[in-house]
Structure 1
């Protein structure tokens, strides 16, 4: 409790968190998260419907499917950040987002590496042809995702997140928030995700001018540039805010970066599948490759 101005009465302190009842910002995030989930499901359904067409096959449809599912799960992780924090949501929100989005970024990296190998393998007598049969893309997704899982397991074993009642930041106000436990593990999780995104960006930028049948590289470049820009600008904003506004900054970064990856990589394909079906032809793809 907190004394009034005359110090005659004890008043209850204001309790602050991102509330479903009081905060319009939460409903904005909720609306955008649900809308993006519906869009992702629509793209996922479209890819399943056109599973055997050249455009879907061109850039590893299995990895594309895993990427779409990981983006969908990343959008759903936003719900762990909304409402009154409790022990289970504090425990799951950073870990679930970190793992699901790392799987997505690993898929992007695998797609980029696949583009590089596919182009190198077209040259006569190239030793890169051997790598195509080794399912390098699946190995990249598995290994890169496993590293993030290991970081999160160590985090949960050493110092897991928990609910914290902050009485000290603002007089007369109690901030109900999630204490991340180990700051080292938290920033290691974010840093590892950023490292994968940076590697994907550099590789995609290097191969962005490859033939059009492998044109995902240019879209990956834009998506990873957007991802890095959002999270680099998010870090100082995150560190300079407290309470529900700190949560709002992270939710905004999650929605924006996931939407950027979804739009940059999949909207061009969706455009061809739904609006330009005449371009969804193996002959056109081969002609573009020859050019």
Structure 2
């Protein structure tokens, strides 16, 4: 087994690996040849130790908990769109806008049904439904105001899915009755991509750029902040603004979406404040 060749191959698919292992690599460089031979004799255990530290936080999590988290968000969005369609303000929207909202509503209902099936199929119990606060909904005076909330919900949902994707890495496929073989990470990402399409379309309906530009009319809201705000311009420890001339901070910001943690998503200033009777 050539330990260093393994690291080189890993670096081809994970450019950050040498940074992750840098302190450990320095230890190897300081060893004598005899010391290296002794260390390499224990490579399997050593390799496991390296990877457990270099890839901390990327191991498989509790898929039932992750999917129930996603289900709660989908419940909230599905109920929001149901209330939106039932509102008298819906009739004031254009035919095109009504058709778009009705289609998005169907997607959210499909997401709820799939997640409930998957959770039950992997031995979990789907969370009870949550609803969008009726009192909050009653404060909207125009269809345009409802679209504001739709944008905030969808953009938050995209960041929420991204924040939990890593917890589904390494979880084996599951054979679910009536569905077939399901890969948990793939299932989550399939929903995540559709949520991103929703977010882009709602932003388009509001006259905003489909991506988060940094100067949108809602970009100062809490939904775009967090420990890693959407204004971030550094990715994988690289300052994107320094990659080429003419690449502005706004360009760097718009090129990447950031995560939201569970605590950030469920905070009263974001989705958590919209759940209620």
Give the alignment's TM-score, normalised by structure 1: 0.28
Give the alignment's TM-score, normalised by structure 2: 0.29
